[in-house]
Structure 1
Amino acid sequence: MSVVQFMVSLDLTVVNVGLPEIGSGLGFGEVGLTWVIHAYALAFGGLLLLGGKIADRYGHRRVMLLGLVLFGLASLVGGLAQSPGQLVAARAAQGIGAAALAPAALALLASTFPGGKERVKAFGLWSAMNASGGAVGVLVGGLLTQYAGWQWVMYINLPMAAFALALAWRGIAQDPPAARRGRPDVLGAVLGAAGTALLVFGVVRTDQHPWTSDTTLITLTAAVALLAAFIQVERTTKRDPLIRLGLFTKRSVVGANLYMLLFGGAMASALYFVSLYLQRVLGGSPARTGAEFLPFMLGVVVGSTLAVKFGYKFAPRSMLITGGTLSALGFAWFGLIRSDGSFLVDVLGPSVVTSVGIGMCLAPAVSIATGGVAPHEAGVASGMLNSTRQIGASLGLAALGTVAHDRSGDAATPGALADGYALGMMVGAVIMAAAAAVAIFVLPRPGRDTAGEARSTR
């Protein structure tokens, strides 16, 4: 399950560094090239809730195995692509596979380790693989693009998918017989997937259509209308709903998802801005940029280890407050980057502080969001958390990218770019401080609201 999550997280960033080579190799236009990223994000973010529901209905192990097969085949097709359309289609298929994989794996983790020290250990390992996957993606993407060719940013998934498939086939017990839960909520599934995908689409397109443009406003309005219709259908349907709205009466579920929304936006912007700063301001090559992300990756592992060590003594809420505050301080330190800076002075220190904080956050947030959820809803709860994080990443990148561009303007000088990236990271610090505030004021204190939460699961 950790290998699965590492692969999914890696694929969110491994392609980024190789985009220039992909564009020249397949003849992408400047606008069309962004769809190599958007196609994956749209399919992944838009279908996570549905993937979680399908896993709950038809079996977590079964859906995870099918998702692994689809993900591996799509990666092979992507590496063999001879045209922009083929690669974009393969990336969309990867996103569909990931939307099945991620919630099914997380639901299996939550149900296999329902509580105690083993749960803390399991989620600590999962979170280390999850967060480090994004950082390793930058490293691997740079090395593969420079020394093996861009196709290998797709082929790299094949051995991981095969390895995970073998482990899951032998190491995960067969799914129990599926319980009859009524007819599936097809209309709710369509509305939920369409609304989420359209929301992500409207946000990621703000790099070409500003927030106040008619295109963006119409798209986001349509997304809100679809999601409002989805909520109404879920309230009134006689079928098995895609998501039971009673889950939102649990402060733990609401708080963890709000935390993850903010966390996703801040973390995605960190990887994005630091990568651009290292290459466009400090002049590093793709391979060197990837190597300079190693301290970030190691910091995530250290933070995840600390989350396990202190998870035996302190409540997950306390870990989220500490990790969020530490990450906010790291972002603020990143906000001091200069055009005449260096990796050792401007990047290494804040990378370590930020990544340790990030590593401390993931496992407790997931544990809170899935704790106390009935087994037949674990996939939906997991899909919702993954969807929230993906939407947060899209919103964060779009919003902070706009902030950075407004500060730097159309100038491409190192000074202007550094100023823009620094402001973006400062806003990221505010976002992580807000996440810590959510943990303080929204998440229930240990021992509180247990009666209400118990009632909400019935």
Structure 2
Amino acid sequence: MERKSIVMLIALMVTGFGIGIDFTGALMLVPAIEDSFDSDITGTQWVLNIYALFFAMTMVAGGRMGDMFGHRKMMIIGLSIFLFSSIMCFVAPGLDYLIVARALQGIGAGCVWPCTLAFGATKVSKPEHRALIMGMILAGVTTGNVFGPMISGAAVTLGEWRLFFLANVVFSAISMATAIFVMEKETQHKQGERIDFAGMAILSFAVLLLLYGLDIGADWGWTSVPLLLLFFASGVLFFMFPRIEKKVPEPLLLPQLMQNREFLITLGLNMFNVSAAFVGLLYFPQYMQKVLGWSTFESALGLAPLTVLLAVGSVVSGTLYNDFGPKRLLFWGYLSATLGSASIVLMPDGLGYFQILPGMALIGLGATLTVGPSGTAAVCAVKPERAGLVGGLSFMTHLVYGAISVACATAVMYVSSLNSLGKQLKAFGIDLSLADQKAINGGTLTTDTAKAIMQKLSSTEAEKVQTAIANAFDSGMNMAFVFATVSVSFGLVLALLLDEKKLHKVEG
């Protein structure tokens, strides 16, 4: 690879690194944010979900605008939005404000990421280097995934979780500098493109209503009329989406792609690989902090078997793609992730860190063999001028389903842990109202509300309640991974159905 391509690759990896630290690093802040804003997991999950949703829904438009106006230009615009919203996160006075800021961060990242992929895919001088470059860009992201928890852990250790978002400001500024001074301007762009804002809006509202319903289901009652109407409205929007797509000039889902069975399978493979990893990234750190009593920084180090495998595996999967093809990599990756998720459910209680260690390692290995190859297969299957669009589309399905997975897993976890907590308190002879049980459910006892409840108990009762909460969290996490196991297993079936020869003739 010539020097010019190496310099460009380093610049793209720097940008990917900045995006990577934001995702996993923010996950580590969940308990600290719960304490700061007196919230619980059903509220703070939106710090992850709103970012993933807006990231996903902006990606297709960001990729298409990159095709139209230049990938470098859209990267700079996206990084500017990301930098501004990171400052908003740093100064957020409340949870709602923070969630809005995270949504803006998602919009900025959604402009940057597909254009980063497309820039790398279209500027490579030799086609055989494309898979390697895509793997290296993903390695930049996943290396950020490794360092993100350590940065957020250090911020919490210093006593201020907001410092993590100050690090976001620094890295996004560095990324902007590399885009401006290192990446060359593009002179040729795709003409006559239109952006499907109607499709984006309908799909966004459909997913948003679904996520909101899963969030408040436990409070409203799963069979309550308002909640059922909310789910019905979401279903109607999902039903309307493909019909609207048939009427717009440039739909999100291009007919020549959507009519091909193999490409649809590839999109499915971009979806289901995220369930175990997203649920693990959310709950493994909380398990270490709330059940094992580790600090945020110790939990960041404990997460390394998952994050380090993600980083190393992106490079490895990129080099293996041409030799083995996506089908074999995806099959073994999905099998590993399925076994890893199942191990969390099946491992006996009381093993401490070793209860989740095998699962973390297997889920990390599975993600390394599925995330890169599924995205690369989608991008490599189309003409270069469609690279931005398809890069955005594949990762849109990846993140939208990731957000849905987290919301579903959290709903399952919350109901299961609350039920377990009630049974244990009854067995201990401790009478707490349902409202009080909901306030302490999830394992966070350092919020103002939880402290007030615990102060009403004797020292013996408080100790029993703490034990019950830890056991309930463990039980709820296991049920969340039941959902993850079932979800990932669908990808295993799709990997077996994939026909590589037909896939690479999508636009042939």
Q: Which TM-score band applies after superposition, normalised by the shorter structure?
A: 0.7 to 0.9
How much has 1:364 moved relative to structure 2?
Answer: 0.7
Residue 63 (1) aligns with residue 116 (2):
no
Residue 63 of structure 1 and its aligned partner are, at CA, apart by 0.9
> Is the CA contact (8 Å cut-off) linking 1:75 and 1:158 kept in structure 2?
yes
SS in 2 for 1:122: helix
Provide the C-alpha distance between the structure 2 equivalents of 1:208 and 1:57, rounded to a whole number of angstroms: 46
Task: Tell me whether 1:297 sits opposite 2:307 in the alignment.
Answer: yes
Given that 1:266 and 1:428 are in contact with CA atoms closer than 8 Å, whether structure 2 keeps it comes out as yes
- Alpha-carbon distance between aligned partners in 1 of 2:31 and 2:492, rounded to the nearest angstrom: 37
1:155 Cα offset (Å): 0.8
Alpha-carbon distance in 1 for matches of 2:97, 2:475: 38
Q: Deviations over 1:380-400 (max 9, x none)?
A: 212222221112212212222
Pairwise mapping of residues 194-343 of structure 1 onto structure 2 (< 5 A)?
Answer: 194-206=205-217, 208-209=219-220, 212-237=223-248, 239-343=249-353
SS of the equivalent of 1:16 reads helix
Residue matched to 1:454 = 507
Structure-1 residue corresponding to 2:486: 430
Give the CA deviation at 1:159.
1.9
- Give the partner amino acid of 1:94: Q
**Counterparts in 2 of 1:177 and 1:118: CA distance versus 1, 3 Å:** closer
**SS across alignment from 1:315:** helix
**Distance in structure 2 (CA, Å) of the matches to 1:415 and 1:182:** 55
Secondary structure of the 1:284 match is coil
- Which whole-Å deviations, capped at 9, do the CAs of 1:281-320 have from their partners, x for residues lacking one? 2221212111111222222233334323432421111111
What are the superposed Cα offsets for residues 305-345 of structure 1, whole Å, 9 maximum, x if unpaired?
432343242111111111111222222222234442232x3
Partner residue of 1:366 out of 369, 372, 375: 375
Contact kept, 8 Å, 2:27 with 2:282, in 1: the verdict is no
Aligned partner letter, 1:321: F
User: Is the Cα contact below 8 Å between 1:199 and 1:220 reproduced in 2?
Assistant: yes
Q: Secondary structure at the match of 1:181?
A: coil
Match of 1:165 in 2: 176
Q: Aligned residue for 1:390?
A: 399
Structure 1 partner of 2:84: 73
2:454 is aligned with 1:401:
no
The CA deviation at 1:271 is: 1.5
Partner in structure 1 of residue 443 of structure 2: none
Equivalent pairs, count? 449
Contact 1:269 1:428 (C-alpha < 8 Å) held by counterparts: yes
* Counterpart in the other structure of 2:449: none
Q: 2:377 and 2:61 mapped to 1: Cα distance?
A: 21
8 A Cα contact 1:338 1:419, kept in partner: no
- What is aligned with 2:355? 346
Opposite residue 477 of structure 2, the aligned amino acid is Y
CA distance in 1 between partners of 2:487 and 2:154 (Å): 32
Which of 185, 202, 224 is the aligned partner of 1:191?
A: 202
Secondary structure of the structure 2 residue equivalent to 1:173 = coil
Distance 1:24 1:370 in 2: 42
Question: Could you give the per-residue CA deviations for residues 188-218 of structure 1, whole angstroms, max 9, x where no partner exists?
Answer: 4443444444444444554655654444433
Could you tell which deviates more after superposition, 203-212 or 251-260? 203-212
For residues 47 and 336 of structure 2, what CA distance do their matches in structure 1 show? Answer: 33
2:439 corresponding residue in structure 1: none
SS in 2 for 1:162: helix
Counterpart of 1:438, as a letter, is L
Distance 2:112 2:104 in 1: 12
Whether the 8 Å CA contact 2:277–2:364 is kept in 1: the answer is: no
User: Structure 2: how far apart are the matches of 1:383 and 1:196?
Assistant: 17
CA–CA separation in structure 1 for the residues paired with 2:227 and 2:144: 31
**Pair 1:410–1:153, CA change in 2 (3 A):** farther
Cα distance in structure 2, aligned partners of 1:55 and 1:211:
42
> Structure 1 417/354 Cα, relative in aligned 2: closer, same or farther at 3 Å?
same
User: What CA distance in whole angstroms lies between the structure 1 residues aligned with 2:45 and 2:363?
Assistant: 27
Q: Secondary structure at the match of 2:187?
A: coil
Q: Which residue pairs with 2:431 in the alignment? A: none
Residues 436 and 59 from structure 1, CA distance in 2 versus in 1: closer, same or farther, beyond 3 angstroms?
Answer: same
Gaps of 5+ in 1: none
2:323 is paired with a residue whose SS is coil
Residues 219-276 of structure 1, C-alpha deviations (whole Å, 9 max, x = no match): 3332333344342232123x34344232112334311221121112221111222222
SS at match of 1:236: coil
Q: Residue 247 and residue 391 in structure 1: after superposition, are their counterparts in 2 closer, same or farther (change >3 A)? A: same
Matches within 5 A, 1:5-154: 5-25=16-36, 27=37, 29-30=39-40, 33-113=44-124, 116-154=127-165
Distance 1:184 1:228 in 2: 21
Indicate conservation of the 8 Å contact 2:49/2:407, yes or no: no
How far is the alpha carbon of 1:78 from its aligned partner?
A: 1.9
Moved more, 163-172 or 65-74: 163-172
- Change in Cα spacing, 1:256 to 1:135, as seen in structure 2 (3 Å) is farther
Cα distance, 1:257–1:131 mapped onto 2, change above 3 Å? farther
Q: Which residue identity does 2:157 align to in structure 1?
A: Q
CA offsets per residue over residues 73-130 of structure 1, 9 Å max, x none? Answer: 1112321234445433322221211121122222223323497441221122233333
Kept in 1: contact 2:153–2:297 (CA 8 A): yes
Report the identity percentage.
Answer: 24
CA distance in 1, matches of 2:118, 2:271: 19
Alpha-carbon offset, residue 23 of structure 1: 4.7
Map Cα deviations across residues 383-431 of structure 1 (whole Å, 9 max, x no partner). 2222211122122122223333444325144333323323332442333
Instruction: Calculate the TM-score normalised by the size of structure 1.
Output: 0.87
Q: AA paired with 2:488?
A: M
Mapped contact 2:141–2:311 kept (Cα < 8 A): no
Relative to structure 1, the CA distance from residue 183 to residue 386 in structure 2 (aligned partners, 3 Å threshold; closer, same or farther) is closer
| Larger mean Cα displacement after TM superposition, 60-69 or 328-337 | 328-337
Contact 2:214 2:411 (8 Å CA) reproduced: no
Aligned residues: CA RMSD: 2.8
Q: Which moved more, 1:320-329 or 1:330-339?
A: 330-339
Q: Secondary structure at the match of 1:317?
A: helix
| In 1, Cα distance between equivalents of 2:118 and 2:226 | 37
**Residues of 2 paired with 1:271 and 1:84: CA distance?**
21
Q: For residues 243 and 285 of structure 1, do their structure 2 counterparts lie closer, same or farther at Cα, with a shift above 3 Å needed?
A: same
Aligned counterpart, 1:380: 389
Farther-moved stretch of structure 1 (60-69 vs 215-224) = 215-224
Conserved? CA contact 2:53–2:204, under 8 Å: no
Answer whether contact 1:67 1:100 (CA < 8 A) is retained.
Answer: yes
Q: Secondary structure at the match of 1:313?
A: helix
The verdict on how the C-alpha distance between 1:115 and 1:398 changes in structure 2, with shifts beyond 3 A counting, is farther
